[in-house]
């Protein structure tokens, strides 16, 4: 199979954005381009699709997949947190739609040398952009036990964080070669006191990945930037995969909804609260989850949640 990653909640994404001809769309985590391919077909003629990814190999696959639409697609390597710079480079003023489909892609788990998997006997790396930052095995070797425990607790909500960090450091004292995914998974499993239905290493791997890629900082930056780059009626959709990132998105959208004190059935905002910021209407309160059919055919979708909002009053920067 050429493209391994199956776009999650594709039907829901299309029905949320209702892509139209001439639309200017940002896919901030284009990956292998699955969502983008479905969107770009619907924004012809006159539409523009901007795609961003930190991972150059995913970006190359997206470029190949979208090559018949090359004249309307512009791709950038980098973080969606810097979307404002990419908007300017593309000579655009604002977006009608922004999608962020957070986290890693199937490629990161399957491809050799990426170090995301707890099944592989290769050093844990976990960087989306392999040319920047510090690979996870180096951080684990150099960081003090307290820092490792803090990261696992904070970003993985792992109750056994202290025990896991202790065992990681002990294992590295005994054998200093770069820690592999398989070895890390065994260490975590031996340190866990509680059993879960998921692999015992899931939370620890999630936490390390979030930390190594500064994922939550980029998410905050991307949400703040995107809300100021969407036109009136524009829509922002975010697919989250765990409660920590989901809380951030929920809180941010609500924060921008509450800035307006007008009754919600007012078609336009007339209060002064909204002078300096965009205002949004949150879509479907708690967002939307994948159907049971999708989860059974694509288990990677099981923890996905699509949250969205629509701009009631734009504040383009």
The residues of the shown chain that bind ligand SAM, judged by CB under 6 A, are: 5, 7, 28-29, 31-35, 52-55, 58, 79-81, 101, 103-105, 128, 218
**Number of residues assigned to the chain:** 317
Q: Distance (Å, rounded) from C-alpha 142 to C-alpha 139?
A: 5
Least spacing, CB of residue 272 vs ligand SAM, in Å: 35
Closest distance to ligand SAM from the beta carbon of 177 (Å) = 27
Q: Which is nearer to ligand SAM, 10 or 141 (CB)?
A: 10
CB 79, min distance to ligand SAM, A: 4
Instruction: Tokens 């090559």: give the residue.
Output: 67
Element of type H or E holding 76: strand 73-77
Separation of alpha carbons 87 and 76, rounded Å: 10
CA pair distance 187, 279, nearest whole angstrom:
47
HSE-CB at 260 with a 13 A cutoff on CA atoms is 23
Are the C-beta atoms of 203 and 242 separated by less than 8 Å?
A: no
CB of 91 to ligand SAM, least distance (A): 21
Burial 150-167 (b: 16+ CB within 10 A, else e): bbbbebbebebbbbbbbb
Nearest to ligand SAM of 160, 245 (CB atom): 245
* Least gap, CB of 102 to ligand SAM (angstroms): 6
- Residue 130 or 171: the one with the smaller Cβ distance to ligand SAM is 130
Residue nearest to ligand SAM (CB): 31
Residue closer to ligand SAM by CB (options 60, 92) is 60
Q: Cβ closer to ligand SAM: 33 or 308? A: 33
CB of 101 to ligand SAM, least distance (A): 4
Name the residue nearer to ligand SAM (CB basis): 117 or 274: 117
Q: What DSSP designation does 177 have?
A: S
């Amino acid at each position: 199979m050429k493209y391994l990653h199956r776009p999650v909640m594709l039907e829901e994404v299309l029905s949320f954005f209702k892509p139209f001809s001439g639309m200017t769309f940002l896919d901030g985590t284009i990956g292998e381009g699955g969502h983008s391919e479905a969107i770009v077909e619907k924004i012809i003629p006159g539409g523009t699709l901007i795609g961003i990814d930190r991972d150059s190999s995913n970006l190359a696959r997206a470029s190949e997949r979208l090559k018949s639409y090359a004249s309307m697609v512009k791709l950038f390597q980098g973080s969606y947190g810097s979307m404002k710079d990419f908007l300017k480079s593309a000579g655009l003023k604002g977006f009608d739609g922004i999608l962020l489909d957070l986290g890693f892609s199937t490629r990161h788990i399957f491809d050799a040398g990426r170090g995301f998997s707890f099944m592989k006997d290769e050093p844990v790396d976990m960087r989306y952009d392999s040319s920047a930052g510090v690979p996870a095995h180096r951080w684990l070797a150099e960081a003090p036990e307290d820092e490792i425990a803090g990261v696992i607790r904070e970003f993985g909500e792992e109750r056994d964080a202290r025990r896991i960090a202790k065992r990681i450091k002990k294992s590295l004292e005994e054998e200093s070669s770069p820690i592999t995914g398989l070895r890390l998974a065994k260490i975590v499993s031996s340190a866990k006191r509680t059993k879960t239905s998921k692999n015992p290493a899931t939370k620890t791997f999630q936490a390390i990945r979030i930390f190594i890629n500064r994922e939550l900082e980029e998410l905050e930056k991307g949400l703040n930037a995107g809300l100021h780059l969407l036109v009136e009626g524009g829509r922002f959709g975010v697919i989250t995969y765990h409660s920590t990132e989901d809380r951030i998105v929920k809180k941010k959208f609500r924060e921008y909804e509450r800035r307006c004190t007008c009754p919600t059935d007012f078609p336009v905002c007339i209060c002064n609260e909204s002078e300096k910021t965009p205002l949004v209407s949150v879509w479907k309160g708690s967002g939307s989850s994948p159907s049971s059919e999708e989860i059974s055919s694509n288990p990677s979708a099981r923890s996905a949640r699509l949250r969205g909002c629509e701009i009631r009053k734009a504040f383009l920067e």
